[in-house]
């Protein structure tokens, strides 16, 4: 007897799985790539401090190196290492406490990490249940019934929030006792809205 198209827009709050802290470390030597975690003294010191609180080397990534060679001699260049440190939400206060102890370090950004695909499964299933309820009601009002599904299409969007550290934040972090968790002034367990758009074509009997 034809098809009935139902569209549902829905949303659900999703908790972050982890966080990535973006930072820069000034070094006295130039080492490229993740080798810096073992060869650059300043980065190696940070790696050791993080290991003491359970953050392994695999959670630390060197994303770039900036060179400052005013002398024109590459071997005498100073380097600024761009790093990210990944941590579970409950590890984040301790990580920031360690980072605050490092005098040659600058915090730039906090990025929350979500598994949007896994989160979308439950959200899409809930949206489909709503679409079916609406289809049954509309079909009944038209003197018909739903016989099956001809097509389903879904899409989702989960913006990844980032928190930029202001210059005064570093001073607050460094006022904390060495390697102790600190009060960020922001939520540790970040949540974000995941938006789902679902379109279903129902076959009518």
- Tally the C-alpha atoms within 13 A of residue 101's C-alpha that lie toward its C-beta: 17
Work out the percent of the chain whose per-residue pLDDT is above 70.
Answer: 77
pTM recorded for the entire structure: 0.70
Whether the Cβ atoms of residue 99 and residue 45 lie closer than 8 Å to each other = no
- The region that residue 122 occupies, defined by phi over 0 for left and psi between -120 and 50 for alpha, beta otherwise, is alpha
Q: Measured in Å, how far apart are the chain's first and last C-alpha atoms?
A: 6
- At 12-52, the pLDDT tens digits run 999 999 999 999 988 765 554 455 455 577 788 899 999 99
The pLDDT of residue 176 is 45
Average pLDDT over residues 167-191: 52
Give me the chain's average pLDDT, please: 82
Average pLDDT over residues 72-82: 66
The pLDDT of residue 180 is 52
Average pLDDT over residues 182-196: 70
- The region that residue 72 occupies, defined by phi over 0 for left and psi between -120 and 50 for alpha, beta otherwise, is left
Q: What is the dihedral of CA 30, 106, 162, 118, to 10 degrees?
A: 60
Q: With CA atoms as reference, report the closest residue to 60 among 90, 82, 92.
A: 82
Q: Which residue has the higher pLDDT, 33 or 141?
A: 141
Phi, psi of 148 (to 5 degrees): 170, -170
Work out the percent of the chain whose per-residue pLDDT is above 90.
Answer: 52
Look at residue 121 and give its three-state secondary structure.
helix
């Amino acid at each position: 007897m034809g098809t009935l198209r139902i569209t549902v827009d829905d949303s659900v709050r999703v908790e972050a799985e982890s966080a990535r802290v973006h930072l820069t470390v000034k070094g006295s030597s130039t080492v490229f790539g993740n080798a810096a975690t073992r060869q650059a003294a300043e980065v190696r010191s940070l790696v050791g401090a993080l290991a003491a609180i359970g953050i392994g080397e695999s959670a630390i990534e060197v994303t770039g190196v900036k060179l400052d060679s005013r002398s024109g001699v590459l071997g005498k260049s100073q380097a600024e290492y761009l790093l990210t440190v990944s941590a579970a939400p409950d590890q984040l206060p301790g990580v920031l406490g360690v980072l605050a102890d490092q005098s040659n370090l600058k915090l730039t950004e906090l990025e929350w990490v979500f598994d949007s695909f896994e989160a979308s499964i439950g959200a899409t299933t809930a949206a489909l249940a709503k679409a079916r309820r609406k289809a049954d009601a509309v079909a009944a009002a038209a003197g018909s019934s739903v016989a099956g599904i001809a097509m389903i299409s879904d899409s989702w969007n989960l913006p990844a929030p980032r928190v930029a550290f202001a210059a005064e934040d570093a001073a607050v972090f460094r006022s904390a006792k060495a390697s102790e968790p600190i009060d960020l002034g922001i939520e540790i367990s970040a949540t974000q809205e995941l938006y789902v758009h679902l379109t279903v074509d129902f076959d009518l009997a």
